[in-house]
Amino acid sequence: MTTAEPPAAPRRGFGDAALCGLLIAGLALYAATLASPYGLRVLTLAGCQVLLVLGYQFIFGHAGLLSLAQGAFFGLGAYATAILGTRYHWDFAASFSVSVLVPLAVAAAVAVPALRLASHYFALATLGLAQVALLLVLNAGEWTGGAIGLTGVPGIAVLGETVPRGLPLAATVWSLVAVGACLSWRLTHGLTGAAYAVLRSDAIAAAALGLRAGWLRFSAFLLSAGYAGAAGALQAHTLGVVSSETLEFSLMVTCLAMTVIGGSTRIAGALLGALLLTYLPEWLRFLEGYAPLAYGAALLATIIAAPEGIAGAIEHAVRRRARPPTPQRPLALAPRRSRPAALEVRGLVKRFGGIVALDRVDLAVEPGEIVGLIGPNGSGKTTLANLLGGFVEPDEGVMRLGSRGLRGLGADRIAREGISRGFQTPVLPPRLSGLELVALARTTTAGRIGFLASLRGADAGYRRRHLEAEALELLGGVGLAGEALRPCASLPPSLAWRLELARALALDPGLVVLDEPAAGLGAREQAELAQRIREIAARGIGVLVIEHNMPFLLPTAHRLVVLDRGRVISKGKPKDVVQDPRVIAAYLGRERFSA
Amino acid sequence: MVTILQLGLNGLALGAAYALVALGFVLVLNATGAVNFAQGDLVMAGGYAAAILASALPLPGLALLPMAVGAMALLGLAVAALAYFPLMRRPPTAVFVSTIALGLVLQNATLALFGPEPRTAPPIWAGEPLRWGSLALSGQALAIIAVATLLVATQGWLLACTRLGRNLRATAQDREMAAALGIRVNAMIALSFALAAALAGAAGALLANQFFVTPSSGGALILKAYIAVVIGGWGSLRGAVLGALLVGLFETVVAAAVSYTAASALLYAALLAILLLRPQGLFGEAAGRRA
């Protein structure tokens, strides 16, 4: 049992909460005192837009994908409510549920193929989906009223009583908005939010952490669809009419503009964006025809000048000075599980076009063994590391860790299965702190990341403190405890390797693969790195070190494997290998050897 | 039989105009890895440029076309300066959003300046329709095919046979390597935007005679161009032209046989199917994932 002092988590959410509080208080005051019936109606509609934007933030803001189907999901929700309300006289609870479920079902059906697509393909596929939805609605006139739409949608009825328009309706809609906002807060302000930040900034860093990118994107897309359906249903109840305009591209663009202008990852951003763009046309009446022009220009200006939107700009402007970590009750940490496993590689072949990068390579790393992989430039060392990490698929051969076959698993899966990959140039998401990064890595092996996990509170409260305490212990183990709260981008190379090592160990690996870890380090740092590598091996973890630096590698490695032009030309004890004529030839050139 | 041939010719003319739009699209995509969503609105702007020039200058359409195209090239530079260069180091999504915003600005600026009523541009060639038995090809349709062929050929020659074209292609393939070779990469990117806008402008000026142009007519075009590019395979210029011709033919024939709505619905359905089943396009090889 060890104990660790967790520092206070960086409270990045505070500015968002304060801003939300201010906005809500202001709105409540306005609604209760100043608002006319027309004003209350606009306020209610603004609430629907807030919900729409809150949903869009999941896919656009957090997952970082440009979906152009959010307007279609909104329209589907609105039409579901209108059809069920006017034709079948369903009550609110039932029709609202269906209005959320219909877009969810459509999103689930298209998500699996669509999310495989790279950025603009995804945008295009969702745009196509939106166009198909619009054409369907226009041409299924019997059900949807065609271009005219449906009128006479009943209001929101609770317990057989219709909520009167005006303040009660506004209060009802805004309470549902509050529920949506709280849910979104819960889902995105924990480590799951940090996981999405890594996914957006660097796909390789996300894979190295073992993050399930596909699942994270899928759940974001579904949530966005569900929120859009709810928003559409509420708008249909508020307006009493639904027309095909709800499915047109202009609504989608408005939603996008609200999200970008307000801020795409903050709850206050959804509030600000939706309110501003709902009220702006009212305030800009004096501009007459030029109002939409101002609105396009504002969107362009925001994306250029304030990438995090107004809410982000406010938060940066009133940033509080960083608090020093406050000591908290020490947590008792269970010893981390270790899962020693031998790496076995047999007959591995990788071709790039006509070039054979790896030619029937065999390699074994026993638990607790340090194996050095050397070879001239271009001999295939990094290719081998990429294959082991699942970043590149081999053409032939066997790769196993323990009894587990590794081929075809994908990089994130392999990271969770026990191979941690360190990179030649540290791959660290720039804005995350070391503490968050390592805590994130701790969550992935245990499956404690993602919206479902957040909903269960797996990254909140005590558990989060526990994860952070574990992370801090790991950071302490590489001499980085004092820098735990520094953003990754600000770490110099002499500290970055330590963080890479801590992240690698956080995954409870059976094997750690390090690609030229000593490059660019001074003599003292190299000695410390060698010491850490020995410590890792002493815990029963295999270490594969790719390195050019022989003075560093020779005393550290138990065995050396030499690659030349994609083939293993020598292997054995370091002192034997460096005297192998084939190795000397590979390094010094064949002519000299034969001469 | 005659009707089918007639439809085919009309479809070819429409496809030729789409090809110009799609080509501009691919040029920018290759040069920047980003999608220019304002391309459709640039077509619309080209239509207006031709219509406005015609009302100001008493010149034939053929003389006005180069002026409109030149003006559009300048607008293309403005697009690059406003919507691309400030965002070059950000994720591709940012450029997507900025070009959507710029398209919105273009649309609404046109609306505010010229009002919502549809405009037409002068014909390039106002002569008698070309008759061939009972087949008739209007002068304008012929002009569209001729001008588009000329422009596509010129662009092909420019890219394949000139030093400038080589620099453009080098920039598209590997920006850092191109910069290391002393190619002025930013100038090449700006030029790609200018060329793309010029092609869009030509398409706009050509289409604005047969079909009316309104401030919002760019929206449908962008999707057609997009679909053409998907069919042809991203990044492939030849594929984009082929894709555009196919889209034009398909749209004309299905619209005549069933309805315009059915043509659009089928096109979008085909688009989704191609994206999901064969994302590398129907022709050519994969241009690589530009995620």
Residue A248, phi-psi category: left (phi > 0), alpha (psi -120 to 50), beta (remainder): beta
Q: What is the mean pLDDT of chain A?
A: 84
From the list B86, B98, B279, the residue facing A117 with the nearest CB is: B279
Q: Which residue has the higher pLDDT, A67 or B170?
A: A67
**DSSP per residue, A129-192:** HHHHHHHHHHH-HHHH-TTT-B------EETTEEPPTTHHHHHHHHHHHHHHHHHHHHHHSSHH
Residues of A with CB under 8 A from a CB of B: 60, 64-66, 113-114, 117-121, 123-125, 127-129, 131-132, 135-136, 138-139, 200, 203, 249, 253, 256-257, 260, 289-290, 292-293, 295-297, 299-300, 303-304, 307
pLDDT confidence of residue B89? 83
pLDDT confidence of residue A275? 92
- Give Cα separations from B53 to A531, B68, B147 (angstroms): 77, 8, 19
Cβ A144 vs Cβ A83: under 8 Å: yes
The two beta strands, A355-365 and A559-564, are unpaired
Ranges assigned E (strand) in A12-114: none
**Is A132–B265 a contact, with Cβ atoms under 8 angstroms apart?**
yes
Q: Which residue has the higher pLDDT, B210 or B90?
A: B90
- Rounded Cα distance between A318 and B257, Å, is 63
Q: Is the pLDDT of residue B284 over 80?
A: no
Q: Taking CB atoms and an 8 Å cut-off, how many pairs form between chains A and B? A: 111
Q: Which residue has the higher pLDDT, B81 or B223?
A: B81
The two beta strands, A559-564 and A370-374, are parallel
**DSSP per residue, A182-218:** HHHHHHHSSHHHHHHHHHHH-HHHHHHTT--HHHHHH
What residues of chain B lie within 8 A of the CB of A249, using their CB? 219
CA-nearest residue of chain A to B260? Answer: A135
pLDDT confidence of residue A457? 66
- Rounded Cα distance between B2 and A433, Å, is 71
Range with lowest mean pLDDT among A58-67, A337-346, B144-153: A337-346
- Rounded Cα distance between A96 and A234, Å, is 8
In Å, how far from its chain's centre is CA B163? 24
**Is B112–A290 a contact, with Cβ atoms under 8 angstroms apart?**
yes
- Rounded Cα distance between B30 and B34, Å, is 8
Q: Is the pLDDT of residue B291 over 50?
A: no
Q: Is the pLDDT of residue A8 over 50?
A: no
Buried b (16+ CB within 10 A) or exposed e, B35-57: bbbbbbbbbbbbbbbbbbbbeee
Chosen for mutation from B99, B266, B276 (greatest number of chain A CBs closer than 10 Å) is B276
Average pLDDT over residues A576-593: 73
> DSSP character for A30?
I
Chosen for mutation from A62, A121, A201 (greatest number of chain B CBs closer than 10 Å) is A121
pLDDT tens per residue across span A341-396? 889 999 999 988 778 889 899 999 999 999 999 888 888 888 998 899 888 889 99
Please indicate if any CB of chain A lies within 8 Å of the CB of B90: yes
pLDDT confidence of residue A27? 87
C-alpha torsion angle, residues B152, B153, B156, B160 (rounded to 10)? -170
- Rounded Cα distance between A110 and A59, Å, is 14
Percentage of residues of chain A with pLDDT beyond 90:
28
**Is B90–A307 a contact, with Cβ atoms under 8 angstroms apart?**
yes
pLDDT confidence of residue A5? 45
CA-nearest residue of chain A to B92? Answer: A119
Residue A305 neighbours by CB under 8 Å, 6+ apart = none
Min CA distance, A29 vs chain B (Å)?
A: 34
- Give Cα separations from B259 to A194, A527, B263 (angstroms): 50, 76, 6
What residues of chain B lie within 8 A of the CB of A136, using their CB? 265
Min CA distance, B126 vs chain A (Å)?
A: 36
**Is A138–B261 a contact, with Cβ atoms under 8 angstroms apart?**
yes
From the list B111, B272, B279, the residue facing A289 with the nearest CB is: B111
Percentage of residues of chain B with pLDDT beyond 70:
91
Q: Of A181, A121, A557, nearest to A372 (Cα)?
A: A557
In Å, how far from its chain's centre is CA B78? 17
Run of H or E including A563: strand A559-564
Cβ A349 vs Cβ A396: under 8 Å: yes
pLDDT tens per residue across span B163-187? 888 888 888 888 888 888 888 888 9
Highest mean pLDDT, choosing among A185-199, A257-271, A289-303, B266-280: A257-271
Q: Give me the residues paired with residue A402 across strands.
A: none
Min CA distance, A294 vs chain B (Å)?
A: 8
Average pLDDT over residues A545-572: 89
Q: Of A516, A401, A342, nearest to A500 (Cα)?
A: A516
Question: What is the pLDDT confidence band of residue A336, given thresholds at 50, 70 and 90?
Answer: low
pLDDT tens per residue across span B185-243? 889 899 999 999 999 999 888 888 777 788 877 877 888 888 888 888 777 788 888 99
Average pLDDT over residues B118-125: 79
Please indicate if any CB of chain A lies within 8 Å of the CB of B89: no
- Radius of gyration over alpha carbons of chain A, in Å? 28
Residue A244 in tokens: 């095909």
What residues of chain B lie within 8 A of the CB of A289, using their CB? 108, 111-112
Q: What value of ipTM does the predicted structure carry?
A: 0.84
From the list B92, B111, B275, the residue facing A124 with the nearest CB is: B275
CA-nearest residue of chain A to B266? Answer: A132
Average pLDDT over residues A280-303: 80
Residue A336 neighbours by CB under 8 Å, 6+ apart = A470, A508
Average pLDDT over residues B23-27: 85
- Rounded Cα distance between A513 and A414, Å, is 12
**Is A296–B101 a contact, with Cβ atoms under 8 angstroms apart?**
yes
What residues of chain B lie within 8 A of the CB of A303, using their CB? 87, 94, 97-98, 101
Q: State the CB neighbour count (10 A cutoff) for residue B115.
A: 12
Q: State the CB neighbour count (10 A cutoff) for residue A316.
A: 11
**Is A300–B105 a contact, with Cβ atoms under 8 angstroms apart?**
yes
Q: Which residue has the higher pLDDT, A226 or B227?
A: A226
Q: Give me the residues paired with residue A150 across strands.
A: A242
Percentage of residues of chain A with pLDDT beyond 70:
89
Residue A269: φ, ψ to 5°: -65, -45
CA-nearest residue of chain B to A139? Answer: B261
From the list A120, A132, A260, the residue facing B269 with the nearest CB is: A132
Min CA distance, A198 vs chain B (Å)?
A: 13
Min CA distance, A214 vs chain B (Å)?
A: 15
In Å, how far from its chain's centre is CA A35? 40
Average pLDDT over residues B10-16: 87
The two beta strands, A370-374 and A542-546, are parallel
Question: What is the pLDDT confidence band of residue A445, given thresholds at 50, 70 and 90?
Answer: low
Residue A403 neighbours by CB under 8 Å, 6+ apart = none
Residue A286 neighbours by CB under 8 Å, 6+ apart = none
Number of residues written out for chain A: 595
pLDDT confidence of residue A460? 65
From the list B112, B223, B279, the residue facing A121 with the nearest CB is: B279
pLDDT tens per residue across span A51-64? 999 999 999 999 99
Q: What is the mean pLDDT of chain B?
A: 83
What predicted TM-score, i.e. pTM, was given to this entire model?
A: 0.86
**Is A296–B104 a contact, with Cβ atoms under 8 angstroms apart?**
yes
- Rounded Cα distance between A313 and A15, Å, is 11
**Is A296–B105 a contact, with Cβ atoms under 8 angstroms apart?**
yes
pLDDT confidence of residue B69? 92
Residue B213: φ, ψ to 5°: -115, 130
pLDDT confidence of residue A55? 97
**DSSP per residue, B102-142:** HHHHHHHHHHHHH-SS-B-PPPS--SPPEEETTEEE-HHHH
Q: Is the pLDDT of residue A104 over 90?
A: yes
Q: State the CB neighbour count (10 A cutoff) for residue A588.
A: 11
Q: What is the 3-state secondary structure (H, E, C) of A249-266?
A: HHHHHHHHHHHHHHCCCC
- Rounded Cα distance between A550 and A554, Å, is 6
pLDDT confidence of residue A292? 75
Chosen for mutation from B28, B96, B97, B254 (greatest number of chain A CBs closer than 10 Å) is B97
CA-nearest residue of chain B to A63? Answer: B93
Quote the longest CA-to-CA distance of chain B.
60
pLDDT confidence of residue A324? 42
Range with lowest mean pLDDT among A65-79, A297-311, A425-439, B43-57: A425-439
**Is B290–A119 a contact, with Cβ atoms under 8 angstroms apart?**
yes
